[in-house]
Amino acid sequence: MTVFTPPEGAVTNACGHDGEGPFYSGGAKARHACSLPTSKQADTTFVKRVVGMPGDTIAIVDGHVVRNGQRAAEPFASSCSGEECNLNAITVPKGYYFMMGDNRGNSDDSRYWGPVPRSWIIGKAIASYWPPDSIGGV
């Protein structure tokens, strides 16, 4: 799990850099992620998994990552159905990372606001403190 500052569009669920959205560039039915995030950082931090590295081709099928043509092993990912659980292939630009949450049917992530620049990544999440009954290592 990785701690990072998402793009400003993460807060509004929109590709704010081109005025399109909500959800995906071209609308949810287009199934195209924003190619790049907004140029501004949000005023919050998120914790998600890095599922795509610079140069990777990423597609999402039924909530599962298909990286460079191979379905990733993701036993931690929840099941997902519906249009929001699929995404046509994009190539992650140099210096950017594609982030996704484990709760695929209910996660604001790079499917909605594009990949994240390396400079916005803070570091690895090492512990959870909320909710209290889940305190421990990540």
Domain tally for the chain? Answer: 1
What pTM was computed for the model?
A: 0.79
CATH of the domain at 112: 2.10.109.10
Per residue in 60-83, pLDDT tens? 888 889 999 999 999 988 878 777
Distance between CA atoms of residues 99 and 46, nearest Å = 10
Q: Which domain holds residue 55?
A: 2-137
Furthest CA-CA distance within the chain: 42
Phi first, then psi: give them for residue 118, nearest 5 degrees. -55, -35
Instruction: Sort 70 into a burial class: Cβ within 10 Å, 0-12 / 13-18 / 19+.
Output: exposed
* Spans in the chain with pLDDT lower than 50: 16-24, 27-28
**Which residues touch 28 (CB under 8 Å, ≥6 apart)?**
22, 83, 84
pLDDT of residue 53: 96
Q: Do 80 and 87 meet the contact criterion of CB atoms below 8 Å apart?
A: no
d(CA 96, CA 112): 15
pLDDT (0 to 100) of residue 128 = 72
Q: What is the pLDDT of residue 70?
A: 96
Question: On the CB side of 3, how many CA atoms lie within 13 Å of its CA?
Answer: 10
